[in-house]
Amino acid sequence: MRIKSNLRSYIRSYLDKPSRPFVPVLAATFLGAIAAALPTIVLTLNRIEEPWNIVVASDALALAELTYIGTLAHALVLGLPSFLLLRSKGHIGVVACACAGLVIGAAPFGALGLLSMLGMQNASSGGKPTVVNHVPTLAGWIEYASAVGFAGLIGLVGGVTFGAVIRWCGVRPCAANRDQAIPRTPAWRSPIVCSIAILLTVTMFALPHFVRDTSCHNLFRDGRTSVGPQIVADVDLAPNDWSTLRQTFTEFGGANGLAFRSDEGIRDGRLMWRTLGLCNEAGVTIVARDQPWLKDIHSPAAKRGMELEIFELKSGSDWRVLTHDLLDKLEMQWPARISYRGQHGSPIPREEAMKGRAE
């Protein structure tokens, strides 16, 4: 009992001493970084126009984790040293933290953005020229100002959060005059703030590893980093043939015990890509991919039409039987519209393609 009482007294005295604010300040730094990441995360989620599924959710969480890593590095490298410097010079409060966050968020991004823009010969965004012959246009300066302003807003949010947290925890607003009387704050506030910071940080890093696609449609679910298709084919289809192809995939999957999935990517109301997938646990994965965005950049690949790929993820999957039946259905539906590519992109006959990829 005596040891427990002494330990409790030591912890209480440690938390009550304003000369030891490092832990709550560090926790406030982590919380400020989380708050700074939120505007970017929310803006990105609002731009997702395709239907939500496990793939979209997994990608969104991975992006949130990456954004948090960026804001946390920014806060630790620039934000925390700036606070310690300002605090050593005199009084610093929420307003000062907010102003510092605004400058810290906007200045580095603004400098890098300006160097990048002035280093370009020609550039455009949304169909509008932003740089012409190394000279930024009005549209370019407006886009630059908007980007720098958004970066400053992120820093402002982080600075306000940081300042509010350290004030709530009762951290002394200045390093000088340590003997001056300051209002006493409850000892439980710092542990609460630290617990929240730890919980949110662990959540940000853990969620992307728990919420991920573990179905047979994920070519990399078993830990592999690369995989090559057994067959690559191009199918010359009109855009309105996609619904017919989808129906063919649905029926073929149902008849052969294959899981079906349909995904698409939409940006600014425009279809960028769409895929159809069939797979089973034996290791066969079939992917049909249409990429209308290739036409917008005048890519030669746009002339190939829709791409069909057959993967074998486990040996002994008997992929050739399923592939043979599917190709028969497609060639019956669209005669002479399917061409096959070898490993180096050269055209090959179907018989050679069915031999698969050389190991």
Number of independent structural domains in the chain: 2
Given 177, 210, 243, which residue is the final one in a domain? Answer: 210
pLDDT at position 5 over 80: no
Residues 310 and 178 in one domain: no
> Which ranges in the chain belong to alpha helices (H)?
2-16, 22-46, 54-74, 80-89, 94-118, 138-169, 189-210, 242-256, 293-296, 319-333, 350-353
Q: Are residues 275 and 143 in the same domain?
A: no
Residue 218 within any structural domain of the chain: no
- Check pLDDT > 50 for residue 181: no
Higher pLDDT, 299 or 341: 341
Give pLDDT, residue 180. 46
Residue 12, pLDDT > 80, answer no
Residues 206 and 269 in one domain: no
Contact 288, 308 (CB under 8 A): yes
Residue 271: pLDDT band by 50, 70, 90 thresholds?
confident
* Mean pLDDT within 91-118: 89
pLDDT of residue 126: 67
Residues 236 and 204 in one domain: no
Residues 38 and 159 both lie in one domain: yes
Query: What is residue 1's predicted lDDT score, i.e. its pLDDT?
Result: 52
pLDDT exceeds cutoff 90 at 357:
no
Q: 63 is in which domain, residue-wise? A: 2-210
Average pLDDT along the chain: 85
Say what the pLDDT of residue 15 is: 45
pTM over 0.75: no
C-alpha triplet 150, 151, 153: angle, nearest 5°: 60
Q: Is the pLDDT of residue 335 over 80?
A: yes
- Kindly state whether residues 128 and 243 are assigned to the same domain: no
Asked if the structure places residue 35 within a domain, the reply is yes
The verdict on 27 and 171 lying in the same domain is yes
Residue 266 has pLDDT above 90, yes or no: no
Please tell me whether residues 57 and 104 are part of one structural domain.
yes
Provide the pLDDT for residue 294. Answer: 84
pLDDT the model gives residue 132: 87
